[in-house]
Amino acid sequence: MKTFANNFLVRAVLLGMGFGAATIAQAQPEVKIGVIYPLTGAAASSGAEMRDALELAVDIINNGAKSVPQLPFAAGGGLPNLKGAKIKLVFADHQGNPQVGATEAERLITQEKVSAVMGAYFSNVTATASMVAERYKVPFLNAESSSASLTQRGFKWFFRTTPHDDLFVRNQFEFLKDLKAKKGIDVKSIATFNENTLWGNETTKLQAKLVPENGYAMARQIVYPARSTQLTSEVQTLKAAAPTVVMQSSYLGDALLSMKTYKELGFSPDMILANDAGFSDTEFTKTLGKDADYIISREVWALDLAKNNPLIRQVNDLFMSRYKINFTGNSSRTFTGLMVLADAINRAGSTEPEAIRKALTETDIPASKLIMPWKGVKFDADGQNTLGQGILVQIMNGQNNTVWPFDVAAREVVWPMPKWDQRK
């Protein structure tokens, strides 16, 4: 009798535990987000920074962070509208290769069954990977690629939080106009010096239109093969064109090589207006030291913006305590991208791609909840965030200093750049 009762009790308890465990397991689903970034290849150091930013964002959402109370989801515990479901990142490495990016997107969607995809930094990889997502009807959120054409494809599942090159390049011309108006600085001729992937080519076309439109002479347009072993002929051509200002678009490797070649061949225009990317990477200033000073780059973010937005300082401190480096324009946008996606998934209350897509179209995040100098996040019919804004920074003593717009500038712009032999 006792044995029977014992057996029955044990079995009942076990059964109860089984049901209980199943219910607990069901109350803790994961939200899988696929992320495609250059984890190896020439941009691997940029990719590593963006990976760090993603992991920080996910950690804040899943486990909370007391030091950033104003940030959405800082209470932790996963996504509230999905019963505390935690976000799980599934990483893929595109190696800087558009074909690999597309294949990885396919793998993430069909095999890993992610609910949404984020990526990919390089505009050309974002183009192919998002095409795959569009085909499979999975939301693709792009936080860092700036080629304007990405949101001109009529896609329904592509969303981009970052402003694009059209805006950034126009910013540079507004800056030159402001320079003339407020400081009487005249620019006679401009040369464009861009790499030749999708990003560089589109920037070249845009600059070809805007330079004459704004009344400047186009000294020379140079397009060079990305990842050259040397840039001597390119810099020689630049030197011969003798422009007042050089507008340059290069990823990290070429940015470093070109600066070294400028120094070696003694080429120093009045100013180098850089288009972010390589010039914004932490490695750039670390490697070049003083030689990087005075360069003005269009940027999307700078640490000194924390002056007007304490949330920026708080989140950056968290990043710094973990990874020993500050946010850059790239990593801050990646961080923001994931927060926007998490916000949409939360509002959707589901991991179904269509629900997430609908929630994304209804996104309306105010500036106070962002660590970017934007007016907010709101997507238009093409999936482009219309409330983004750019800034211009000048590198001095290895730091980025916001110099434009003049009303949020932290520092006066120094113009022109001193010649190489006058720097010591």
Question: Could you list the residues that contact another protein (CB under 8 A)?
Answer: 40-42, 44-45, 47-48, 196, 222-225, 227-234, 236-237, 239-240, 252-253, 256-257, 260, 263-266, 283, 287, 289
Whole-number Å distance between alpha carbons of 281 and 267: 23
Helix (H) or strand (E) holding 109: helix 98-110
C-alpha R_g of the chain: 24
How many H-runs (helices) and E-runs (strands) does the chain carry? 12, 14
Q: Which among 387, 205, 379, 373 is positioned nearest to 305, based on CA atoms?
A: 373
* Cα distances (Å, whole numbers) of residue 267 to 193, 275, 394, 421: 13, 19, 19, 11
- When the beta carbons of 25 and 240 are compared against another protein, the nearer one is 240
CB nearer to another protein: pick between 130 and 250? 250
Closest CB 222 distance from another protein, rounded Å: 6
- State CA 406 to chain mean position distance: 24
Q: Helix axis angle, 123-136 relative to 198-213, nearest 10°? A: 110
- Smallest separation (angstroms) from another protein to the CB of 253: 6
Nearest distance in Å: CB 44, another protein? 3
**First-last CA distance in the chain:** 96
Q: CB 29 → another protein: shortest distance, Å? A: 34
> Which residue is associated with the tokens 């076309």?
205
Question: Distance (Å, rounded) from C-alpha 248 to C-alpha 144?
Answer: 18
Nearer to another protein, 265 or 408 (CB): 265
Residue identified by tokens 């540079």 is: 172
Q: How far is the CB of 220 from another protein (least distance, A)?
A: 10
Q: What minimum distance in Å lies between the beta carbon of 224 and another protein?
A: 5
Provide the 8-state DSSP code for 140.
E
- DSSP category for residue 383: S
Closer residue to another protein (CB): 104 or 254 = 254
Closest distance between another protein and the C-beta of residue 34, in Å?
Answer: 21
- 326 or 401, CB closer to another protein? 326
Between 213 and 421, name the residue whose CB sits nearer to another protein. 421
Closer by beta carbon to another protein, 139 or else 269: 269
